[in-house]
Each structure stands twice: as structure tokens, then as C-alpha cells.
Amino acid sequence: VVLQQLKSSWTTFPDDYLTNPKLLNFTSVSDPTGAIRSAFETRAKRILSDMQVYSPWLLKDVRFARTLPLWRPLLSRPVCIVPYRHPLEVAASSMMHSSTLWRNYMLSALTAVRELKCPTLLVSYEAWFADADSQYHNLWSFLRCAGVSGLPADPPYKAMKDVVQPRLKHHDAGHLARSQYSKQMLPSTECIWRAISNKSAPIDQLHQRLSKCSRP
């Protein structure tokens, strides 16, 4: 609802978003009485109050890549986990079938966590299938180092293994690169994918690498 009120939607981005990825904010539309902000914050505070019973808690929604700036003032000490998957696999498995949408959402998420100074972990979708135990360990270590309280002493390996189901992966980037989806791999999309999946480079250099991806 708030995206519609701010004259946007979860599938549309400004034409110049690749070169100018501005954070979503309440000043982008005329709202002299502050009614849009007030209504959003009332609903958001109700959700957060309910979630606090289960602290530490997690909210998972791709639209947070865009709406996080609206939520941030209401959060005390958030940490951000940004999962990433090959753009062609996302295009093939999503109802929009668009790798450009993947590009814009990744750019939105990474711009938001940087400007809002949210402690961030990038999580590879593919790595969960290759070495789930290492992924559990990395995720758990990140949460503890970020100061998330209320965690069990050890990761709940069994519960997490029940979530990772390799048989549910239906698309492979190598195969899709030889299909009609290959035409969707624009230079900017490939550039962002390479910047994100470059495991040898530290995350604090990611924005510098992304700045080279402004070609459509």
C-alpha cells in the first residue's frame, strides 16, 4: 500500500534508477498533513510490537529492498541479510521473468543498507546447496558479531537443514545462458552480478564496484 501511496509499485523503478538509485522517502509526494507517513508508522509499529514477543525475529520480503528507509527510524538495532541468486535463475522462476527487475532490486537493497549503515551479510543462494554447513556457520557468526541477542549457543543445524531442499531448485544458470533468457543478461545486470558474487573482495568495497555498472 505504501508503495502505491508514494506513486510507485514493487515492479516499477524510475527510468534513471541505474545511474541514480535514490532511497524511497515520504517527501517524494505531496503529503502536507503527513497522513501517509502517520498511517504507515501506525501499521508498522503494530507489526513490530507483535514481532517483539519472538525476539530475535526476522522479516523477509523482497520489497524491504525498497521500503527499508521507511522502516529504519522505527528499528532499534537492525541487521540486514541480502540473499542473492543468479539473475537468469531469478528471471526464470519469478512471475515477472525479468532480470532487469533483479538488477534494480539488488541495487536498491545494496544502496539502502549502505546509506542506512545497516550491518550486512550477503548470502549466496547457490552456496547453500554446495556447502550448507559453512553457510550456517557464516550466518550464525555474523549474527553474533552484529550483536543480535537471544540466539541459542549453537546454530540449530537440524532445523535449518529441513529448510534447504536441493530438489526444489528448478533452474540452472548454465542451462539458462543457452536459452532465450540469455538475451536478458544486459551488461549492467552482468556487472552487478559479478560485483556481488566476487567473494575475494570485501563488502565495504562493493559500492565502489557497483559504481562501474551504470551502463544499461
Q: Per-residue pLDDT tens for 84-139?
A: 988 988 888 877 778 889 999 999 999 999 999 999 999 998 888 888 888 888 99
DSSP label at residue 179: S
Half-sphere exposure of 39 (CA within 13 A, CB side): 11
| Residue type, position 149, single letter | S
Q: For the chain, give the mean pLDDT.
A: 86
The rounded percent of the chain whose pLDDT value lies above 90 is 37
Give the integer Cα–Cα distance in Å for 142 and 79.
9
Which pLDDT score is estimated for 207? 80
Model pTM? 0.87
Taking a C-beta distance cutoff of 8 angstroms, is the pair 92, 176 a contact?
yes
Taking a C-beta distance cutoff of 8 angstroms, is the pair 67, 3 a contact?
yes
Kindly tell me if the per-residue pLDDT of 174 is higher than 70. Answer: no
Which pLDDT score is estimated for 101? 92
Kindly tell me if the per-residue pLDDT of 215 is higher than 70. Answer: no
Window from 20-29, 81-90, 93-102, 168-177 with minimum mean pLDDT: 168-177
Which pLDDT score is estimated for 178? 65
Q: Per-residue pLDDT tens for 177-212?
A: 667 777 778 889 999 999 998 766 667 778 888 888
Cell of 32: 502536507
Taking residues 67-81, report their average pLDDT.
94
Handedness of CA 143, 159, 60, 45 (dihedral sign): negative
SS3 123: strand
With 0-12 / 13-18 / 19 or more C-beta atoms within 10 angstroms meaning exposed / middle / buried, residue 191 is middle
Which pLDDT score is estimated for 144? 92
Which pLDDT score is estimated for 198? 79
